[in-house]
Amino acid sequence: MVADILMDAGYRVFEACEAADALAILDGRDDIGAVFTDIEMPGGMTGLALAAAVRDRWPSMPVLVTSGRVRPGAGELPNGAAYIAKPYMPGELVATLGKMLPHPDSGD
């Protein structure tokens, strides 16, 4: 559903089921502008650990973290990462991401 929301807003989306898959996609591409992750995900790495790994390897990459059950505590999000609580409205998600990343139709 999130992929559809973001594609409808004009973003190109690459989906990953686990953090390791997300890191493999990031390793193989140079055209990814942001990472959106849930805190709770399958596999051996949480979304917070993924956010930290992304920040370490791609320091300028915007990271947006979400969860419906877990709220990050002070200092748990990497510098520059943002959090949006579930449930959120599609417009809220797009607006939050838009603040972190220029819209694809803006020419930036």
* pLDDT score for 90: 97
How does DSSP classify residue 78? P
Neighbouring C-beta atoms of residue 14, cutoff 10 Å: 14
What does the pLDDT look like over 2-49, one tens digit per residue? 999 999 999 999 999 999 999 999 999 999 999 999 999 999 999 999
Superfamily (CATH H level) for 2-100: Response regulator (3.40.50.2300)
Using a cut of 0.85, tell me whether the model's pTM lies above it.
yes
What does the pLDDT look like over 48-70, one tens digit per residue? 999 999 999 999 999 999 999 99
